[in-house]
């Protein structure tokens, strides 16, 4: 299999996913401004993402170790991503919690940098990582996405950031 771009539609808009040899490697969240293609992808990953955005708890069964190698991650980044992949659906953890889970308890700011570079939102659920004070923090170009995603998962989300 070669590297290919897949498109899928949701009530949140049209999402894009790049898959390389069966491994998701880049994901753009759905956007209402993105044109819906005449025929959507039937790729398994797109089906899982459609189900997720429909409110279903999905087990992506993502090969984290394979992705870590593909993305040429440092040992620190790999530890953080492995810990991130274990944060359960509908739950949140703080950057500090994630640093501890990655075996680097004092590196919570560096954990934030890893989250900011996450090329696979949803599949690697960086939206579940919040600040230690419980506020949501940033999330790409549209911080309101973090609230939407946590709400979709049924997480207990306080609108402390007033980005809701």
Q: What pLDDT is recorded for position 23?
A: 96
Same domain for 68 and 47? no
CA distances from 104 to 76, 95, 114, 132 (A): 8, 11, 13, 16
By the 8 A CB rule, do 105 and 123 touch?
A: no
Tell me, yes or no, whether 38 and 71 share the same domain.
no
- Among 46, 126, 159, 164, the active-site one is 126
Model's pTM, two decimal places? Answer: 0.90
What is the helix (H) or strand (E) element at residue 64, kind and residue range? Answer: helix 64-70
Q: State the residue range of the domain holding 126.
A: 64-152
Q: Are residues 30 and 69 in the same domain?
A: no
Please tell me the total count of domains within the chain.
Answer: 2
CATH code for position 73? 1.10.10.10
Domain for residue 22, yes or no?
A: yes
Q: 76 and 137 share a domain?
A: yes
Residue 164: active-site member: no
Please report, in tens digits, the pLDDT of each residue of the chain (164 residues total): 689 999 999 999 999 999 999 999 999 999 988 877 767 777 899 999 999 999 999 999 999 999 999 999 999 999 999 999 999 999 999 999 999 999 999 999 999 999 999 999 999 999 999 998 888 888 877 878 999 999 999 987 764 443 33
Judge if 112 and 131 occupy the same domain: yes
Are 74 and 133 found together in one domain?
yes
Residue 137 and residue 87 share a domain:
yes
Distance of alpha carbon 39 from its chain centroid, rounded?
25
């Amino acid at each position: 299999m070669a590297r290919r771009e897949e498109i899928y539609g949701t009530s949140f808009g049209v999402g894009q996913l790049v898959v390389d040899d069966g491994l998701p490697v880049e994901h753009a969240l759905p956007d209402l401004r993105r044109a819906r293609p005449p025929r959507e992808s039937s790729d398994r990953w797109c089906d899982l993402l459609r189900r997720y955005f429909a409110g279903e708890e999905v087990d992506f069964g993502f090969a984290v170790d394979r992705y870590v190698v593909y993305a040429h991650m440092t040992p620190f980044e790999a530890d953080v991503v492995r810990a991130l992949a274990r944060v359960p659906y509908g739950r949140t953890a703080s950057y500090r919690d994630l640093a501890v889970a990655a075996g680097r308890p004092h590196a919570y700011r560096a954990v934030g940098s890893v989250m900011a570079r996450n090329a696979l939102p949803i599949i690697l659920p960086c939206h579940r990582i919040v600040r230690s004070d419980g506020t949501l923090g940033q999330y790409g170009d549209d911080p309101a996405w973090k609230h939407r995603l946590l709400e979709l998962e049924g997480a207990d989300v306080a609108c402390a950031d007033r980005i809701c």
